Amino acid sequence: MNPETVLKTNPMLAWREIDGSIVIISPEHSMVHELNPTASFVWKRVDGRRTADEIAEQLAAEFDVTRESALADVHELVESLVANQLVSALELAEVKAHV
Amino acid sequence: MSRTTHVMDDLILRTVERHLPFSVHLDLTYRCNERCVHCYLDHEDYGEMTTEEVKRVLDELAEAGTLFLTLSGGEIFLRQDFFELLEYARALHFDVSLKTNALLITPERARRLKELGVRKIQVSIYSADPEIHDGITMVPGSLRRSIEAMRLVKSLGLVATIACPLMKQNLTAYRSVLLLAEELDVPYVLDLTITPMMDGNHSTVNHRVKAQDLLPVLRDSKLNPKLRISPMASVSSDSAVSSGMPLPAESDDLPCSAGHNTCYISPYGEVFPCVQLPVAAGNVRQKKFEDIWYRSPEMRRVEAIRESQLTHCGNCSIRIYCERCPGLALMEGGDLMGAYERACEMAEMNARLAGAESPVSAFHAFQAASGSLSSRGLRPIATGLISIAPMRTV
């Protein structure tokens, strides 16, 4: 994943933090997803401004994991979120063009 | 069981255990552009919450952990600020469902609903025969307009459902509603419950079909899930009115989700465990929602009720065939913990249809033993800890 890739949640989703975990409803597909605490940490930082690498840095600082491990985990998670249409990955240039 | 069902069951259980208000039904107005003969509402406006008040409630619900939000009425599209509120709710990431008669859904409004990510739109349809439907709504042309609106929202990819409360006027028309649902390719709910009005007036109950006359419907295995259950199975049913959550089998000692992980808020800000359970727990105009949800004595009392504590129903042998509703137990039987005639009648009929020989509810057995069978429906109101409260605080 390009380090300049910015992550944005799908605006059609409904979601809430329930008991420490993010629960996501996808109205278009009638699907419910529940994220584990680490994935929930990442989800709460997907704001259309941060890149996956920036979120991984925060994950490494918050949890007792190396930067490399956090990067690998976040990239794997983001790929899964993108594949499930929960998150879209935008190039930084694309984001700047819309500002 | 699908993975989605499993995840939802698990979430429902956890939110019940943690007493989180997972699903909230918010009526934005009691005003309506139809005058349905069986409606339980007073359509006058006695001072609905303002736009800013509703937004504050939505903020508080989001903070409290509410995910599922049902916006209903009255007719929601009569609120001039409806789309402002919907947009606000979606910005707070609620999963939004709507209950409407759809008369005011225009192509532009339908597109806006789609853009804003509304998950489901429930429309009330009483018959595929305009004479019957329009006779119930008292609005000529209402069936045609509701169906047109359903076709419109469906064409945009929105999920629409039909809700059809069955009453004397449309009992024989239920098959036509099923055919219409098939033609429109939408799910449907047939609801046999006609409730008293929220202010305690029982005149609407006159429209209710006698239990005996419901036999053709109850015999229809396509409609009646109770015909397909084994004696050990757990059942749940949908309602056209309430927005409670079906509880998983593990919660079988709870009467329903009301007050456990669901509640109702009126257009005047009053909080109740359910739209059909008129136990006023507080008003969001005076207190924060969380104070009412977690600390009001009324909500705590309802949350504490367990099936095993119910006066007669707790040890009734045909309980699995029963649709007992705590709100109706209070409104019709006068006791939140008690039995009521309609539920017992329906349970006995369902049990008989499922093959039980001479089924008798525990309540009827008690009445027979105490020689009071002839006074069914005239029982003195029990002195429970909770009394019927008026719906409005005006």
- Could you tell me which of B126, B291, B98, B270 has the C-alpha nearest to residue B198? B270
A65 contacts chain B (CB < 8 A)? no
Cα A42 from Cα A57, distance rounded (Å): 11
Q: What is the mean pLDDT of chain B?
A: 87
Instruction: Write the pLDDT tens digit of every residue in A37-73.
Output: 999 999 999 999 999 999 999 999 998 899 999 999 9
Chain-centroid distance of CA A90 in Å reads 12
Cα B67 from Cα A27, distance rounded (Å): 13
- Could you tell me which of B199, B197, B203 has the C-alpha nearest to residue B393? B199
Q: Which pLDDT score, from 0 to 100, does residue B372 have?
A: 55
DSSP H stretches of helix in chain B? 3-17, 51-64, 82-91, 107-115, 130-137, 142-155, 174-184, 215-218, 289-295, 297-304, 326-333, 341-353, 362-369
B160 contacts chain A (CB < 8 A)? no
Residue A99 pLDDT > 80, yes or no? no
**Contact residues, B window 57-76, toward A, CB-based 8 Å cutoff:** 62, 65-67
Cα B170 from Cα B105, distance rounded (Å): 25
Secondary structure (3-state) at A88: strand
Distances B44 to A60, B28, B266, B277, B283 between C-alpha atoms, Å: 58, 13, 13, 21, 19
Residue B285 pLDDT > 50, yes or no? yes
Q: Which residues of A touch B120 (CB under 8 A)?
A: 27
ipTM score of complex: 0.91
Cα B177 from Cα B112, distance rounded (Å): 28
Cα B142 from Cα B133, distance rounded (Å): 8
pTM: 0.89
A43 contacts chain B (CB < 8 A)? no
B4 contacts chain A (CB < 8 A)? yes
Query: Which residues, listed in sequence order, are joined to residue B262 by a DSSP beta bridge?
Result: B23, B258
Q: Are the CB atoms for A52 and A91 separated by under 8 Å?
A: no
Q: Which pLDDT score, from 0 to 100, does residue A82 have?
A: 93
Q: How confident is the model at residue B199 (pLDDT cuts 50, 70, 90)?
A: confident
Q: Checking DSSP bridges between strand A21-26 and strand A31-34, what pairing results, if any?
A: antiparallel
Cα B370 from Cα B372, distance rounded (Å): 6
- Cβ separation of B14 and A12 shorter than 8 Å? no
Residue B194 pLDDT > 70, yes or no? yes
Residue A36 pLDDT > 90, yes or no? yes
- Cβ separation of B95 and A14 shorter than 8 Å? yes
- Can you tell me the mean pLDDT for B327-354? 91
Q: Which pLDDT score, from 0 to 100, does residue B374 have?
A: 44
- Cβ separation of A18 and B67 shorter than 8 Å? yes
Q: Which pLDDT score, from 0 to 100, does residue B224 have?
A: 59
Q: Which pLDDT score, from 0 to 100, does residue B391 have?
A: 35
- Could you tell me which of B174, B164, B176, B211 has the C-alpha nearest to residue B343? B211
Q: How confident is the model at residue B212 (pLDDT cuts 50, 70, 90)?
A: confident
Q: How confident is the model at residue B377 (pLDDT cuts 50, 70, 90)?
A: very low
Q: Closest to A32 (Cβ–Cβ): which among B7, B90, B93?
A: B7
Cα B235 from Cα B221, distance rounded (Å): 14
Of all residues in chain A, the percent with pLDDT exceeding 70 is 91
Secondary structure (3-state) at B280: coil
Q: Which residues of A touch B92 (CB under 8 A)?
A: none
B14 contacts chain A (CB < 8 A)? yes
Lowest-pLDDT range of B6-10, B40-44, B232-236: B232-236
DSSP 8-class letter at A84: T
Instruction: Write the pLDDT tens digit of every residue in B143-170.
Output: 999 999 999 999 999 999 999 999 999 9
